[in-house]
Amino acid sequence: MKRALKQFDCWITGLRREQSVTRNKIKKIEVDTLNNNIIKLNPLADWTNDEVWQYIDENKIPYNELHDRGYLSIGCEPCTRAVKKGENPRAGRWWWEIDSHKECGLHWKEGK
């Protein structure tokens, strides 16, 4: 991603504060210090999950059908499973990790 973002002055994400404790302080406009200090826009930062789905329904926006099958947070295939009733929506990501959060193979540190 770092390589792709090099050519841009700004990028737009779908990050929301409600998604996790690591995202609960994101701002709608930030400077992305990990990506050459480009502007990072998070227009959905203060949206709730219910607001996202209401918008999808009202505007007939296509979405990944895995959501209907219990995959509430979708990553790569080996790192994602359906969420059981009552579980945190992100419980299906990195589900085998009990004590720590690890990224899937889509993310790595530069130079490795």
Active site amino acids: 104
Give dist(CA 61, CA 72) in Å, integer: 17
**Which tokens hold the place of 76?**
């790569």
Give dist(CA 30, CA 37) in Å, integer: 9
Q: What kind and span of H or E run contains 3? A: helix 2-5
At 79 the three-state DSSP class reads helix
